[in-house]
Structure formats: structure tokens, C-alpha cells
């Protein structure tokens, strides 16, 4: 899989400035390139998450925060491993190497947010390039793609990526990138990554398949193993787990591609700060225990709601129409689910009368969150488009935390008195997802 070749404009500029490497091909790799495939024995993921090696001079068991913008050089020519934190910092490198191992990649890059990660990735595109993305995308992704379409000459198709045929219809040799997210949010639809990756690479050998793996985290899925060229995640969510930092991570196996993205990070200065790298590293170590508890809670809550007649969307339920597809790619169902009550007013009342569930956007945190996507995170999508995408206005999204599950269920049941529960159940639509 090769990186896209330089645009005619870049080639022309390169002719003028023959010694300026505008595309960054001739750059050295990011300091201390990640090398998880060093031949060392691999342990189970839960073990690898907490197992790290450092060359720290004092043997610190937790990587120190190198809160320094510059690093002294030993010769006038520089040449030390680090010189300036925008280009590289030991705390960030340690995190990147650890994440590369966890994400099953040869290289990982850490930046200031999930959207920052997508910005770095989309800078691989050139005017005229075509991007195919889903129609039930994270709102921020939709916003950035729209910006690229309106300002950078990128052609963007939004199709239902949960149906590979819809993707095939727009694939061509002009396709430069296919952007996938699974499960989608908040409709919890599943995207067939291997099938779409194969079709994409057949249509164009230069096209990149990019997967946003934020909803599952590397504990539950490694899309690089299913044909993705680049995987990115918001580190703000499960990876850090405490809603106390913003971060984004990018993983890939193609060194040329990694160098190009590193070039952008160094050129624009969006690398993750030393302090946030430290916090993300600390968060990642507890990913397994948090996610296991969160999805065990989510499973019980999904079953509780389903048994009370609500229409629940969660890939941990056998009733999910794409249950088999999800489990062919993932090791767990995650901890985000949504359900319908059949009545917008009832949904509002439920959301407002829970006490343990905070009304908030985002997910992946240790405490549980509740929201109404059509009123909150997806309110920027106009009502007509929401209707076209079959997004129910009464949809409630739950992002399950690590609390005692009985407390969470009690809080939900209290919010819905037994009577309204039955009334709501009788209103439920019978349609499928």
C-alpha cells in the first residue's frame, strides 16, 4: 500500500525548490520509531496494557513528564534524539510506542484531540480527491469534511456505509479515502470493514481506508487487522477514561504514510503535550478493567431495557440485526447503547429525571452519561436530514460507566414509573434498524 503521490502542483513547486522536501519524504522518522514487532513474546492485551519498558535513568516505573520545550545538544550540529518538543518529546514517544503495541501497528502518533488526528490524516488529501464517508458520522467529523469540501476542493460523498453496495456505487479510481466508523453513533449500526476495505483497494490501489475506532477502543477491535490503512481514535474517550484530557491517536503500518503524517504534526505543532501524554499513558493502563466493567454493565442494562419492551440498539443483544457481523470484527460490544421510548416527551422526562446518569455529550468515561442525540450532539443536523437518516427523535443514548449496575438500573427504572413503561412499550414501532 503506497502513499498518494505528490500533486502536480507540489511536483512543480519541488522543481523550483529542488532541495525543499515539501512532502516530507526525506525526513528522518519520528524520534525512536515504535517497534512493537521486535520479536519479543506478546502477552494478552490486558497484560500488555500495563506492561511498559523504559530506559529511565532512575528506573522510574511511571514515565516522567519531560516538561521541557527544548533539549540541549552535545554538538554544534545537534543530532541528539530530542531537540524541540514540537518535533518530539520523550514522554510522547513513550506513549506512542506503547499505543503502537496496543493498536497492533508499527507506528503510532499522538496529537491534541481526536479531531486533530483526523485533521492530520485528511492533510494527505489533495484538491480533486474523493472521500467516501458514512451518513451517521460523529458530528465533528462531518463538520471537518464539510470544511474540506467547501474550502479545499475535496469531493465528499456521504453514503450508508453499513451497506457495502452503497460504497461500491461511489468507489472509483478517483477515490482517495474511505472513512469508516463502527458501530455508528447513535444508531449503533455496524460497518463491514473487511468487505469495504477489499472493494476500496480493488477500485484504487492508492485509496486509503481510514477507520475511526473510538467506539470500541483497541481492547475490543484492531481495524488494521481487517484491511484498514490508518486507524485513529479520540483519546478523550475510552483510552484516557476519565474525561480529564483531550487527545487523539493515529496508528498505521506503512512507514511512508506514518512519516507523512509525522511531517504534518511537526509542521503544524499539534503533537500531544508532555503532560497530557503522561495522563493518557496512565489512563491506557486501566483500559481493560474499565472497559470490561463498562460493557458488563451495558449488557445488563440493555437486557433490562429490552425485557421491558423498549427497542434497544446494542451489539451485545442477539436482537441486533448485525450481531454476527459485529462479533466477526470485535472482541466485545462496547458500552454505548441507545433505545427508543416511542414518545419524545417521555424520553425527555427520563433523561431529565435520572440522578446518577449525567446529561452530557461524549462517552468512554468511568461515570455514566445519558443524552438525547437529536436534541444535543446531533442537533446541528437539520430535522429533515435526521428524518432521512431514520434517526428517531425520541432516541436516548446511554454511555455506561463503572458504577454498581443495580444503582444504574434503579435510577433508570425510577425515572420511568412502571405505568409509563408499559404505556411506552405499547407505542413501540416494530421496524428494524
Binding residues for ligand PLP, rule: CB under 6 A, are 113-115, 138, 140-141, 181, 185, 212, 214-215, 234, 236-237, 246, 248
Q: Between 64 and 139, name the residue whose CB sits nearer to ligand PLP.
A: 139
Q: To the nearest whole angstrom, how small is the minimum distance from the Cβ of residue 115 to ligand PLP?
A: 4
CB-nearest residue to ligand PLP: 114
Q: Between 138 and 314, name the residue whose CB sits nearer to ligand PLP.
A: 138
Q: To the nearest whole angstrom, how small is the minimum distance from the Cβ of residue 245 to ligand PLP?
A: 9
Q: To the nearest whole angstrom, how small is the minimum distance from the Cβ of residue 45 to ligand PLP?
A: 21
> Catalytic residue at 212?
yes
Q: Between 115 and 412, name the residue whose CB sits nearer to ligand PLP.
A: 115
Nine cell digits for residue 87: 518535533
Nearest to 228 by CA among 216, 240, 211: 211
Q: To the nearest whole angstrom, how small is the minimum distance from the Cβ of residue 214 to ligand PLP?
A: 4
> Do residues 298 and 316 touch, judged by C-beta distance below 8 A?
yes
- Find cell 496494557 and name the residue: 49
Longest dimension (CA), the chain: 78
- How far apart, in whole angstroms, are the C-alpha atoms of residue 317 and residue 337? 10
> Do residues 408 and 301 touch, judged by C-beta distance below 8 A?
yes
φ and ψ at residue 170, rounded to 5 degrees: -110, -5
- Helix then strand count (H, E) for the chain reads 16, 12
Question: How far lies 245's CA from each of 97, 278, 279, 281, 308, in Å?
Answer: 19, 10, 8, 11, 37
**212: part of which helix (H) or strand (E)?**
strand 208-212
Catalytic residue, chosen from 66, 82, 138, 314, is: 138
Q: Between 214 and 341, name the residue whose CB sits nearer to ligand PLP.
A: 214
- How far apart, in whole angstroms, are the C-alpha atoms of residue 20 and residue 13? 9
Catalytic residue, chosen from 23, 212, 259, 276, is: 212
> Catalytic residue at 138?
yes
Q: Between 221 and 346, name the residue whose CB sits nearer to ligand PLP.
A: 221
> Catalytic residue at 237?
yes
Give the list of residues 6+ apart from residue 162 with CB closer than 8 angstroms, or none: 134, 136, 184, 189, 190, 191, 192, 322
Q: Between 138 and 278, name the residue whose CB sits nearer to ligand PLP.
A: 138
Nearest-5° Cα angle at 335, 332 to 339: 115
Q: Between 104 and 240, name the residue whose CB sits nearer to ligand PLP.
A: 240
Catalytic residue, chosen from 107, 189, 237, 290, is: 237
> Do residues 147 and 176 touch, judged by C-beta distance below 8 A?
no
Q: Between 238 and 339, name the residue whose CB sits nearer to ligand PLP.
A: 238
Q: What is the DSSP string of 267-303?
A: HHT-BPPHHHHHHHHHHHHTHHHHHHHHHHHHHHHHH
Q: DSSP secondary-structure letter at 97?
A: H
Alpha helical stretches, state H, 73-113 = 90-102
Give the list of residues 6+ apart from residue 125 with CB closer than 8 angstroms, or none: 4, 131, 148, 152, 154, 176, 177
> Do residues 280 and 245 touch, judged by C-beta distance below 8 A?
yes
Q: Between 114 and 241, name the residue whose CB sits nearer to ligand PLP.
A: 114
- How far apart, in whole angstroms, are the C-alpha atoms of residue 109 and residue 93? 8
Q: To the nearest whole angstrom, how small is the minimum distance from the Cβ of residue 235 to ligand PLP?
A: 7
Give me the active site residues, please: 86, 138, 212, 237
Amino acid at each position: 500500500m503506497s502513499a498518494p503521490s505528490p500533486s502536480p502542483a507540489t511536483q512543480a513547486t519541488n522543481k523550483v525548490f529542488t532541495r525543499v522536501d515539501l512532502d516530507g519524504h526525506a525526513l528522518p522518522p519520528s524520534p525512536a520509531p515504535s517497534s512493537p514487532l521486535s520479536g519479543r513474546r506478546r502477552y494478552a492485551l490486558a497484560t500488555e496494557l500495563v506492561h511498559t519498558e523504559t530506559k529511565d535513568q532512575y528506573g522510574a516505573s511511571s514515565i516522567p513528564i519531560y516538561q521541557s520545550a527544548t533539549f540541549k545538544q552535545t554538538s554544534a550540529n545537534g543530532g541528539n534524539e530530542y531537540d524541540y518538543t514540537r518535533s518530539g518529546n520523550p514522554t510522547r514517544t513513550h506513549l506512542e510506542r506503547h499505543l503502537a503495541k496496543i493498536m497492533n501497528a508499527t507506528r503510532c502518533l499522538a496529537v491534541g484531540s481526536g479531531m486533530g488526528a483526523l485533521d492530520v490524516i485528511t492533510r494527505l488529501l489533495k484538491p480533486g480527491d474523493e472521500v467516501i464517508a458514512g451518513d451517521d458520522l460523529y458530528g465533528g467529523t462531518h463538520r471537518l469534511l464539510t470544511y474540506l469540501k467547501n474550502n479545499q476542493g475535496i469531493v465528499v460523498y456521504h453514503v450508508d456505509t453499513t451497506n457495502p453496495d452503497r460504497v461500491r456505487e461511489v468507489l472509483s479510481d478517483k477515490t482517495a479515502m474511505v472513512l469508516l466508523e463502527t458501530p455508528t453513533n447513535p444508531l449503533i449500526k455496524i460497518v463491514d470493514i473487511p468487505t469495504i476495505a477489499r472493494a476500496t483497494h480493488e477500485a484504487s490501489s492508492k485509496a486509503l481506508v481510514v477507520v475511526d475506532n473510538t467506539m470500541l477502543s483497541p481492547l475490543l477491535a484492531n481495524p488494521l487487522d481487517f484491511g484498514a490503512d490508518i486507524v485513529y481514535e479520540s483519546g478523550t474517550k475510552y483510552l484516557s477514561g476519565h474525561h480529564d484530557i483531550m487527545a487523539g491517536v493515529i496508528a498505521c503500518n506503512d512507514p511512508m504514510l506514518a512519516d507523512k503524517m509525522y511531517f504534518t504534526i511537526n509542521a503544524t505543532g499539534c503533537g500531544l503535550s508532555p503532560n497530557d501524554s503522561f495522563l493518557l499513558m496512565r489512563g491506557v493502563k486501566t483500559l481493560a478493567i474499565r472497559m470490561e466493567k463498562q460493557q458488563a454493565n451495558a449488557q445488563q442494562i440493555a437486557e433490562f431495557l429490552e425485557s421491558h419492551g423498549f427497542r434497544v440498539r446494542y451489539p451485545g443483544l442477539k436482537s441486533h440485526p448485525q450481531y454476527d457481523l459485529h462479533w466477526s470484527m470485535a472482541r466485545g460490544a462496547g458500552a454505548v447503547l441507545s433505545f427508543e421510548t416511542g414518545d419524545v416527551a417521555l424520553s425527555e422526562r427520563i433523561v431529565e429525571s435520572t440522578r446518577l446518569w449525567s446529561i452530557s455529550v461524549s462517552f468512554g468515561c468511568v461515570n455514566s452519561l445519558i443524552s438525547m442525540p437529536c436534541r444535543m450532539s446531533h442537533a446541528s443536523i437539520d430535522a429533515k436530514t435526521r428524518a432521512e437518516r431514520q434517526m428517531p427523535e425520541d432516541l436516548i443514548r446511554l454511555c455506561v460507566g463503572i458504577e454498581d449496575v443495580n444503582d444504574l438500573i434503579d435510577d433508570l427504572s425510577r425515572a420511568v414509573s412502571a405505568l409509563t413503561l408499559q404505556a411506552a412499550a405499547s407505542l413501540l414501532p416494530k421496524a428494524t434498524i
